Structure 1
Amino acid sequence: MCGLLGLLTAHGNAGEFTSAIETALPCMRHRGPDEAGTWNDGDAIFGFNRLSIIDLEHSHQPLQWGPEDEPDRYAMTFNGEIYNYVELREELTQLGYTFNTSGDGEPIVVGFHHWGVDVVKHLRGMFGIAIWDSKERKLFLARDPFGIKPLYYATTDAGTVFASEKKCILAMAEDLGLDLSLDFRAIEHYVDLQYTPEPESLHANIRRLESGTYALVSPGGQLEQHRYFEPTFPAVKVTKDKEQDLFDRIAAALEDSVAKHMRADVTVGSFLSGGIDSTAIATLAKRHNPNLLTFTTGFEREGYSEVDVAAESAAAIGAEHIVKVVSPEEYADAVPKIMWYLDDPVADPSLVPLYFVAAEARKHVKVVLSGEGADELFGGYTIYKEPLSLAPFEKMPSPLLKGLNRLSQVLPDGMKGKSLLERGTTPMEERYYGNARSFNWEQLKRVLPEARHEWDHTDVTAPIYAKSKGFDPVARMQHLDLFTWMRGDILVKADKITMANSLELRVPFLDKEVFAVAETIPYDLKITEGTTKYALRKAMEQIVPAHVLHRKKLGFPVPMRHWLAGEELYGWAQDQIQASGTEHIFDKKAVLEMLAEHRAGVSDHSRRLWTVLSFMIWHGIFVEDRIDPKIENKDYPVKL
């Protein structure tokens, strides 16, 4: 595990950027506090920060390797973990290759020499990879299939820069001649969706390599990007007598994934909430670590804590359990720091409790397992039930649907049946935009006066929907969430917030072998009998404690609606809005009116307010240089 930073120069002058790389590296020291260093060969320069997890004494980066006749042909740095590295090493050894380390990095570069760009198809893990081929004079960049690990890049006249964190590129902007103008289209997407969708970032000239893609670039050239992983959900029928076989295959795949995710030369713990996802992971992990530690967080307010259920689960599986309770004051104080770590804002209030539970976990372990990805793979969101309730509309002729849709528009708000009628007569492509959208068009125009109606969430969703034609309705929603909500929110916070605490988070559900089974589950075994993730629950019947088997998912719920309306955060929010230098972006008067409406109980604006507040704090740090994020590591560049 590490943070990578590098530059492929356009003019063969990599050595001239050594100082810039060394200055920018501390921006992500939290990703790898154990080692740091640089390497260059004229065209390319790499920097890295290492968090040592496997082969602690060796496997230093950048890692150089080459065949006997071309020693040191390749230089590689990567961020992540390859869980099948033992099997890859054995396979490549049988093909005649030799290894100098016992870590998970060397099989990547040896595999690249043998398979070329197809090495990514052999990797089972999470990764952002950079390999420089000094013979072909080409740089290879790649991200894991689901986008667990990040990889930013930018191209200027100086060359192509890439990094695990955007702030490192910001720190090098002056040296690279990089224009740091903001991207208003990306800002609108963020406000609309609560996150910045890939490949965008809020800076117009800095982008992200998308999940499941690799890229090649030569000195002075542009990135050539290629998608190597395209998730599919084939229409598979499972007869009643074969259902148990499917459940057994799910259980076996997950058990194998957890076993491989436990590979480490340091202690591995597990996050634990009150739901089936994290409980399944922790229960399986306990089989490999009898002294497993589990961690959860909550709040003092009743109804916003899973602490008791998590403690009951920990006791049931025999794990030692550690709890962190977060106060409103701690919550508000941590927000600027968290926005700094995120690089771009994500308007998910659960980021803050995750930060605190990660900090607590890091006192005890270096790696934790978590349950992210189960909902997207196994059909866990309640909204996935919608196609069942709307099925009668599918049989109606088009003219009738259009007429009923027009009727739904004139019915008064709140009238019984209006929502069902409106949703049932609206195509899925226009109706479902992922688990995120908080503003409708009129609300968006209220706070973003310059919003353009041709820029909205369909910019993001339409190309994804185009690839899912033929999937069943639930699978289409899952497929959309894999490319939107999961990689824009779920995985960004999972990576950035745990790495902020130098803690590695591993997600066994997001394993390609688990997905290979999950994609074959028919929709009637995902959403059935009044529950979600039906097949997963059946697969876990003999594994997880009974009290969580059918419990509703909560995660780390945050009492944001109450806090923003009450003394806890109302004054704080008002101060943030008034101090923000974002008048050229937001109508601050409208935002303050929205805050007042929320406090008066006129409307629940909590999600919308948090979206705007998160951006304003981010802007105060990265653009205005007005807010000090109070990062403990003080040798990062103050002005990015």
Structure 2
Amino acid sequence: MCGLLGMLTGDASAATLVELAGQASHCMRHRGPDDALTWNDDDLVLGFNRLSIIDIDHSPQPLLWGPPDQPDRYVLAFNGEIYNYIELREQLQREFGAVFQTGGDGEPIVVGFHHWGPQVVTRLRGMFAFAVWDTVEKTLFLARDPFGIKPLYLATGPGGTGFGSEKKSVLEMLGTLQLSDGLDPRAIEHYTVLQYVPEPESLHADIRRLESGTYATVRPGQAPEVTRYFNPRFTVRPFARGSEQARYDEIAQALRDSVAKHMRADVTVGSFLSGGIDSTAIAALAIQHNPDLITFTTGFERDGYSEVDVAAESAEAIGARHIVKVVSPQEYIEAIPKIIWYLDDPVADPALVPLYFVAAEARKHVKVVLSGEGADELFGGYTIYKEPLSLKGFDRLSPGLRRAAGRLSDRIPEGTRGKSLLHRGSLTLEERYYGNARSFDDDRLRRVLRNYNPAWTHTDVTAPIYAQSREMDPVARMQHLDLFTWLRGDILVKADKITMANSLELRVPFLDKEVFAVAEGLPFDQKISHGTTKYALRKALDQIVPPHVLHRKKLGFPVPLRHWLAGPEMYDWARETIVASDTDHIFDKQFVLQMLDEHRAGTVDNSRRIWTVLCFMIWYGIFVDGSIDPQIEQRDYPVRL
């Protein structure tokens, strides 16, 4: 787990950019505090910050490798972990007689690239964003892992192509690339609706992200050519009669194998542990490989907004040492600017803040943690996935009758039972399901945004994804959408950025290609069945997780934001932040203040809408007008040139 950046020039001027690369690399020093290096030739300069996890005393990066007749032909900068690196090394030695200079997990990438070309990405089992520069062919190869666990930002202009693990590093390069730092109004609108900036956008118009499951080829003076190599498909394989248990056993074995691979490290590995089935399963499997496993959880002082007791019970049941961090409202408020600086673009997920504190606590004890992200998207875990069952009757109505139901719902007073059911039943899946987040409906969006553009809608993001899933059942279509939106836009952004803010590596065993291979074929009734979600996964984990967790309802991460924003904990702070923000040209601040007062009065729960705007305003103050100091600790890590 590290941070990389680079600039590919079109005029052989890379040697003049070494100092700039060092500066740009230094602002993401939290990603790799153990070492920092830069490398260059005439065309390319690379910067790298290393968090040493495997082959600690060796495997420096950028890493040079080449065959005997072309030594140092390739240069690699790699962020992530390859969990099947041992098997890849053995395969490359067996098939090609490959010679390795290190014991790390990065070298098999570049050796594999030499022998297999771009298809090396299909053989990697892990999380990654990497760059390979071929000094002979003068070609840069960039790639991201299938699910988008590791980030990679791109910017291409007249001055060349810049790329990096964090956007703030690419921002340092914009002048050299002859690009502007102007904002993207479409991305702002998408963020305001979805609570995150969807890939491949960023809030800066000239900086984009290489999408999950894609690779790009770049040549000096040319724009990147992007190719998708992974497109997840939920293709149902119906259960044969009497084969249910065999499929459950297959799921359990895939998870056991994934956790075993994810435990590979030359440092101590711990595990996050909430009150849910996903993190509990990971921790229960991890302790089989490390009997001294430490688990970590976080909660709040307010009753009803903490899973601390359940997590502690789970830790005791599996025999893990357990550490708890309780977060106060004041700590929450004080941490927000710092967290948004680490995020690069705002993500209006209140769970970011407790994650930051539990990651900081974990880093005192371990360098790597496992976590349960991805289980809901792969196995059907979100409660909203039950909706197609409750709306099934509407599918038999003609389009005209469905529209009539929608008109009827419009005339029913707010708060009346059945109004929401009628409204949502009148809509198609594509119209009603945006993914797992939506802050503003169209009416409120029109009121809150100064430059609202009705031509820019959530369908910019969702329509191309829905087009790929027409043959899938409704639950599979929702899962498919979430893989490309909520998972990589919110869940994995916060997992990477917030743990890396604390120089902590987070690994997600559910998001493994072999686990996906057993999850993708599950039929509808093995996800949503018997009144529960993740039915097949629960059956597979029957002998792995403690009984008190196995059938517990999903809570997400409960944060008392609704109460805090209406009370003395946050109301004054929120109002002061809104009034002070220099974003009048973006938001109607009087409408935002009105929403805040409505929320305080208890007439409408506006907490998520207010939080979405607040996070943007703080981001704007940090990255655009400089009015907010995120108070980042200045660590003096060396940058070796």
Are the aligned partners of 1:297 and 1:556 in contact in 2 as well (CA < 8 Å)? no
Runs of 4+ in 1 over 6 A off after TM superposition: none
* Structure 1 position 98, deviation (Å): 0.9
1:401 and 1:592 map into 2 onto residues whose CA distance is: 36
| Aligned counterparts, 1:404-419, within 5 A | 404-419=405-420
Kindly provide the CA deviation profile for residues 236-266 of structure 1, in whole angstroms up to 9, marking residues without a partner as x.
2114411111100000000000000000000
| Aligned counterparts, 1:463-478, within 5 A | 463-478=464-479
| Aligned counterparts, 1:305-384, within 5 A | 305-384=306-385
Show the counterpart of 2:105.
104
Show the counterpart of 1:46.
46
2:104 and 2:554 map into 1 onto residues whose CA distance is: 37
1:573 and 1:64 map into 2 onto residues whose CA distance is: 51
Of 233-242 and 444-453, more deviation after overlay is shown by 233-242
Show the counterpart of 2:28.
28
Show the counterpart of 2:83.
83
Show the counterpart of 1:437.
438
Which blocks of at least 5 consecutive residues in structure 1 are unaligned?
A: none
Show the counterpart of 1:287.
288
2:236 and 2:327 map into 1 onto residues whose CA distance is: 45
Secondary structure, counterpart of 2:249 in structure 1: helix
1:492 and 1:8 map into 2 onto residues whose CA distance is: 26
Are the aligned partners of 2:378 and 2:516 in contact in 1 as well (CA < 8 Å)? yes
Specify the code of the residue in structure 2 equivalent to 1:340. Answer: W
Are the aligned partners of 2:161 and 2:177 in contact in 1 as well (CA < 8 Å)? no
Secondary structure, counterpart of 1:129 in structure 2: strand
* Structure 1 position 417, deviation (Å): 2.1
Kindly provide the CA deviation profile for residues 49-69 of structure 1, in whole angstroms up to 9, marking residues without a partner as x.
000000001111001111111
* Structure 1 position 275, deviation (Å): 0.3
| Aligned counterparts, 1:545-564, within 5 A | 545-564=546-565
1:178 and 1:524 map into 2 onto residues whose CA distance is: 51
1:420 and 1:619 map into 2 onto residues whose CA distance is: 38
Which blocks of at least 5 consecutive residues in structure 2 are unaligned?
A: none
Specify the code of the residue in structure 1 equivalent to 2:167. Answer: K
Kindly provide the CA deviation profile for residues 501-542 of structure 1, in whole angstroms up to 9, marking residues without a partner as x.
000000000000000000011011100011000100000000
Show the counterpart of 2:298.
297
| Aligned counterparts, 1:177-576, within 5 A | 177-576=178-577
1:392 and 1:633 map into 2 onto residues whose CA distance is: 59
Are the aligned partners of 2:183 and 2:205 in contact in 1 as well (CA < 8 Å)? yes
Q: Does 1:7 align with 2:7?
A: yes
Kindly provide the CA deviation profile for residues 23-54 of structure 1, in whole angstroms up to 9, marking residues without a partner as x.
11111000000000100111111000000000
Kindly provide the CA deviation profile for residues 210-246 of structure 1, in whole angstroms up to 9, marking residues without a partner as x.
0000000100000100000000011321144111111
Secondary structure, counterpart of 1:175 in structure 2: coil
Specify the code of the residue in structure 2 equivalent to 1:41. Answer: D
Show the counterpart of 2:18.
18
Specify the code of the residue in structure 1 equivalent to 2:621. Answer: G
| Aligned counterparts, 1:40-189, within 5 A | 40-95=40-95, 96-189=97-190
The percent of aligned pairs where both chains have the same amino acid is: 71
* Structure 1 position 574, deviation (Å): 0.8
2:350 and 2:179 map into 1 onto residues whose CA distance is: 32
Secondary structure, counterpart of 1:75 in structure 2: strand
Kindly provide the CA deviation profile for residues 309-355 of structure 1, in whole angstroms up to 9, marking residues without a partner as x.
00000000000000000000000000000000000000000000000
* Structure 1 position 409, deviation (Å): 2.8
Specify the code of the residue in structure 1 equivalent to 2:539. Answer: K
Are the aligned partners of 1:298 and 1:556 in contact in 2 as well (CA < 8 Å)? no
Secondary structure, counterpart of 2:325 in structure 1: strand
RMSD after superposition: 1.0
Secondary structure, counterpart of 1:436 in structure 2: coil
Q: TM-score, normalised by structure 2?
A: 0.98
Are the aligned partners of 2:450 and 2:585 in contact in 1 as well (CA < 8 Å)? no
1:403 and 1:247 map into 2 onto residues whose CA distance is: 44
Show the counterpart of 2:595.
594
* Structure 1 position 557, deviation (Å): 1.4
Kindly provide the CA deviation profile for residues 140-166 of structure 1, in whole angstroms up to 9, marking residues without a partner as x.
000000000000010121110000000
Are the aligned partners of 1:273 and 1:555 in contact in 2 as well (CA < 8 Å)? no
Of 169-178 and 35-44, more deviation after overlay is shown by 169-178
Specify the code of the residue in structure 1 equivalent to 2:375. Answer: A
* Structure 1 position 405, deviation (Å): 2.9
1:480 and 1:424 map into 2 onto residues whose CA distance is: 19
1:323 and 1:212 map into 2 onto residues whose CA distance is: 35
1:172 and 1:20 map into 2 onto residues whose CA distance is: 8
* Structure 1 position 580, deviation (Å): 0.6
Q: TM-score, normalised by structure 1?
A: 0.98
* Structure 1 position 410, deviation (Å): 2.6
2:610 and 2:185 map into 1 onto residues whose CA distance is: 19
Of 552-561 and 335-344, more deviation after overlay is shown by 552-561
Q: For the structure 1 residues 591 and 214, does the alpha-carbon distance in structure 2 shift closer, same or farther, using more than 3 Å as the test?
A: same
Are the aligned partners of 2:236 and 2:520 in contact in 1 as well (CA < 8 Å)? no
Secondary structure, counterpart of 2:102 in structure 1: coil
Kindly provide the CA deviation profile for residues 522-572 of structure 1, in whole angstroms up to 9, marking residues without a partner as x.
011100011000100000000000000011122431100000000001111
1:467 and 1:635 map into 2 onto residues whose CA distance is: 48
Kindly provide the CA deviation profile for residues 591-611 of structure 1, in whole angstroms up to 9, marking residues without a partner as x.
111111111111110000000
| Aligned counterparts, 1:610-621, within 5 A | 610-621=611-622
Secondary structure, counterpart of 1:174 in structure 2: coil
Secondary structure, counterpart of 1:260 in structure 2: helix
Are the aligned partners of 2:5 and 2:164 in contact in 1 as well (CA < 8 Å)? yes
Q: For the structure 1 residues 634 and 57, does the alpha-carbon distance in structure 2 shift closer, same or farther, using more than 3 Å as the test?
A: closer
1:240 and 1:505 map into 2 onto residues whose CA distance is: 40
Are the aligned partners of 1:20 and 1:175 in contact in 2 as well (CA < 8 Å)? no
* Structure 1 position 634, deviation (Å): 5.5
Specify the code of the residue in structure 1 equivalent to 2:447. Answer: R
